[in-house]
């Protein structure tokens, strides 16, 4: 029988709020070989949701959920702002990023590097959602 564990968080759309979710995830995933992959990907996804999705608007909420079973981990991040077509994200170039005064724009790239699958959609509550999937035991 497939046993699935689920965890849910709701945070304000303010930079720094994602840290509480990351702390909880680190504790939940403490024995997982995928812990760092998941933490990096979720941090970037939450920061993108705060900065670009909800645009830090006061009162906006970001919902984060983790489900894990014997096969994979799945993390969903949903925000109240507009969505983004991840396929249109440009691959960052290190030489350009090193010369910028604020070398930003690595979030989607890192999410793709550390997760096994990314899906996006708009849910019934008109929130933009990103799901990051990670196979268990893959390093």
Closest to 111 in 3D by CA, of 35, 18, 38: 38
* Residues 62, 27, 25: CA angle, nearest 5 degrees: 25
pLDDT digits (tens, 9 = 90+) for 54-72: 776 778 999 999 999 999 9
**Per-residue model confidence (pLDDT) at position 126:** 87
Model pLDDT, residue 57: 76
- The rounded distance, in Å, linking the Cα atoms of 19 and 76 is 16
pLDDT tens track for 19-56: 999 999 999 999 999 999 999 999 999 999 998 887 76
pLDDT band at 99; cut points 50, 70, 90: low
* Higher-pLDDT residue of 126, 117: 117
């Amino acid at each position: 029988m497939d046993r699935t564990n689920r965890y849910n968080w709701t945070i304000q759309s303010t930079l720094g709020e994602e840290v509480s979710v990351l702390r909880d995830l680190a504790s939940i995933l403490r024995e997982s070989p995928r812990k760092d992959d998941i933490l990096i990907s979720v941090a970037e996804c939450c920061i993108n949701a705060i900065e670009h999705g909800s645009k830090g608007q006061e009162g906006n909420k970001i919902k984060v959920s983790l489900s894990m079973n014997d096969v994979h981990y799945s993390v969903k991040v949903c925000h109240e702002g507009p969505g983004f077509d991840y396929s249109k994200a440009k691959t960052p170039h290190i030489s350009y990023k090193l010369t910028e005064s604020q070398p930003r724009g690595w979030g989607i790239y890192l999410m793709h590097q550390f997760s096994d699958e990314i899906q996006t959609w708009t849910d019934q509550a008109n929130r933009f959602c990103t799901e990051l999937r990670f196979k268990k035991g893959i390093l």
